[in-house]
Structure 1
Amino acid sequence: MQHASPSDDSLPAPVRVGLVGAGPWARAMHARMLAAGPETTLTAVWARRPEAAQETAAPYGAKVAASFDELLEQCEAVAFAVPPAVQAELAVRAAKAGRPMLLEKPLGPDLASARRVANAVAEHRVVTQLVLTKRYHPRTRDFLARAAGLTVSGARSCYLHGAFLGGDFATSWRLEHGALLDLGPHLLDLLDVAVGPITSIRSSGDPRRWIELTCEHADGAVSQASLSGSVKLERARTRIELFGPGDELVYDTADMDHDECWPVLRREFAAAVRSGTDHPLNAARGLRLQELLAMAEGVSSR
């Protein structure tokens, strides 16, 4: 039996993706992942600093777009690796241009901007997918599948690291908004699925130092979430403990290889684009997470 090779005509052509942004995360993850293929190819990069765009594009032979509009002309789909306020502005334009989007979390810096993105995506019916990194790892998917069969009374969780203390990821928007906006979407997403839909959140502390969230869930369960990007640790710590009348279930990323996430993310994004079918982790999910962030901030979701 003859097996298909990557050059076979029967395989779909790689999705031509344009990357918006040329910061540390764009270089470390987005560009590398999209260029690795075979499901996608990095076609062009646009950033507000042309020299940074050139530095990001050059290793992969990608073009440097002179403007965001030029990037849209050169690609089939757009990936964002920019601060939330910039993404919220440009994602609306990409939706109007009919481009599928790989979006970062949070959708925007606040609920109003996130809602504008989600509304534009719905209006123009474009495919979207969120970079909720851990959701693409087999261990996370196994944890959520096992959690679905549990009765959970309560949960404890944390997402902690020291990246805000200095280095490439101590960026201005992270230092301004803190851990709630940056780390919160990851942990709230997992709790919202593993424990059950979150109905209310009370918060205490300072998101720039340490913030503690108490979440009430639809079935009466209560969960705690500790978030900080300003504590000195050897490595980032993400842990969720589920308790109930049965055995506890623990999710811990201490030895998780995040490089296992990228091929899954890339493959599922390409499949969504080619099929025209939205990924479950889409802009609507991003809006739900932004509503939870607003809840934690004491902001009405109306």
Structure 2
Amino acid sequence: MRIGLLGTGPWAGFVHAPALAAHPDVTFAGLWGRRPEAAAELAAVHGVPAYPTVDALLADVDAVAIALPPDVQAEYATRAAQAGKHLLLDKPVAATVDAARAVEDAVAASGVATVVFFTTRFGPAQDAWIAEQAAQGGWFTAHCHWIGSVFTTDSPYAASPWRQQKGALWDVGPHALSVLLPVLGEVDRLTAAPGPGDTTHLVLRHRGGASSTVTLSLTAPPAASADGAAVELRGTAGVTTLPDRDEHPTAAFARALDGLLASAKSGEPHPCDIRFGRQVVEVLAAAEEQLLRGGR
């Protein structure tokens, strides 16, 4: 499969491009970026062409991997799907529910395969744990925290305008939801409350009957983010926790590529497809709306 990359930011350079270049069953066909000089620099690192336009890239590939801000990603994902290209998207898939649905509609009309790269879902130990807990059921409640110090350190992601605008809810919230939803079920009721900085607290009621609490932040003091992410489930089987990640994100991205290849070949949707990505955006948007109304 010939795959092109849209995006040239830190995440594209750190994860997407190296994983595309190293995958044995993929041809890294080239890339496009909104900043031509950045595109030329990243393309040179991997010995691939930097395309002058998105349309030029789309004409030369079978699929695209997208590492762009969510509002920009949704626009180009819709265009790529309409052109019949398979999609490897990043989370969140869009910045609004309408934009996420537009991507989903374009995918449905074209029949292309989609995978959304929720990093935790593509770790072997984490994926196996999620599947085991979902099959077991009987969960009463869950607690999850995803706490980082992006905005209190010299993180390369701190300068991202969309992260500054959307905060932890939209950046790390998708990670938390990608674990909770497949185990506990879709969310039918939520309460959102603000904390310090961009910290957001969520109380979720799931259709399966369980409840969960979620704490999200990118503005924690560095010492407070030492145990950055954790998920704990409590139910009839006792207490269990999500295994820690212990590998580079490129390994998880390679498995996301495997998932896209398999879905494109079989025609079967991947569990982390655009439909699931849209469901996550619906929860984020509902929480955001509630926060903007002052928690009401």
Name the TM-score, length of structure 1 as normaliser: 0.89
Q: Write the deviation string for residues 67-107 of structure 1: whole angstroms up to 9, x where unpaired.
A: 01001012111110000111111111111111111111111
| Percent identity between the two aligned chains | 35
Please give the alpha-carbon distance, in whole angstroms, between the structure 1 residues aligned to 2:227 and 2:94.
24
Structure 1 gap segments, 5+ residues each: 1-14
SS at match of 2:238: coil
Select 1:162's aligned residue among 125, 133, 149. Answer: 149
Tell me by how many angstroms 1:255 deviates. 4.3
Q: Report matched runs for 1:178-193 at 5 Å.
A: 178-193=167-182
2:94 is aligned to 108
Distance 1:33 1:161 in 2: 24
Task: Tell me if the contact between 1:177 and 1:208 (Cα under 8 Å) persists in the aligned partners.
Answer: no
Amino acid at match of 1:106: P
Pair 1:139–1:220, CA change in 2 (3 A) = same
Match of 1:211 in 2: 200
List runs of 5+ in structure 2 lacking aligned partners.
291-296
Match of 2:244 in 1: 253
CA distance 1:207–1:252, change in 2 (3 Å): farther
Answer yes or no: is 1:289 the counterpart of 2:280: yes
Secondary structure at 1:178's aligned position in 2? helix
User: Structure 2: how far apart are the matches of 1:236 and 1:133?
Assistant: 17
Name the structure 2 match of 1:129.
Answer: 115
Secondary structure, in 3 states, of the residue corresponding to 1:64? coil
Q: Name the stretch that deviates more: 94-103 or 238-247.
A: 238-247
Task: Return the structure number with greater helix share.
Answer: 2
Query: Helix, strand or coil: the match of 2:222?
Result: coil
1:202 and 2:188 matched: no
Residue of structure 2 equivalent to 1:244: 235
Match of 1:203, as an amino acid? Answer: A
Deviations 1:98-120 (A, max 9, x none): 11111111111111111111111
Tell me the C-alpha RMSD between the 2 structures: 1.8
SS at match of 1:240: strand
Task: Give 1:265's aligned residue.
Answer: 256
2:269 and 2:196 map into 1 onto residues whose CA distance is 32
**What is the CA-CA distance between 1:32 and the residue it aligns to?**
0.5
Separation of aligned partners in 2, 1:232 and 1:207: 11
Judged with a 3 Å threshold, the aligned counterparts in structure 2 of structure 1 residues 30 and 207 are, in CA distance, closer, same or farther, namely: farther
Partner residue in 1 for 2:133: 147
Mean Cα deviation higher: 93-102 or 142-151:
142-151
Q: Which residue of 2 aligns with 1:173?
A: 162
Residue 39 of structure 1, aligned match among 25, 35, 58: 25
Tell me which residue corresponds to 2:42: 56
Conservation of the 8 A alpha-carbon contact between 1:238 and 1:254:
no
State the one-letter code of the partner of 2:21. Answer: A
- Cα separation, 1, equivalents of 2:202 and 2:5: 34
**Offset, 1:271:** 2.3
Superposed CA offset, 1:123-165 (max 9, x none): 2221111011110111112211221214111111101111133
Deviations, residues 231-276 of structure 1 (Å, cap 9, x unaligned)? 1336561111111233201114264554442332222222223444
Q: Pick from 43, 46, 71 the counterpart of residue 85 of structure 1.
A: 71
Q: How many residues align?
A: 285
Q: For the structure 1 residues 35 and 127, does the alpha-carbon distance in structure 2 shift closer, same or farther, using more than 3 Å as the test?
A: same
Kindly indicate whether the alpha-carbon contact (under 8 Å) linking 1:180 and 1:207 is maintained by their aligned counterparts in 2. Answer: no
Give the match's secondary structure for 1:65.
Answer: coil
TM (norm. structure 2) is 0.90
Matched, 1:278 2:265: no
Residues 203 and 211 in structure 1, CA contact (< 8 A), matched pair in contact too: yes
Pair 1:254–1:264, CA change in 2 (3 A): closer
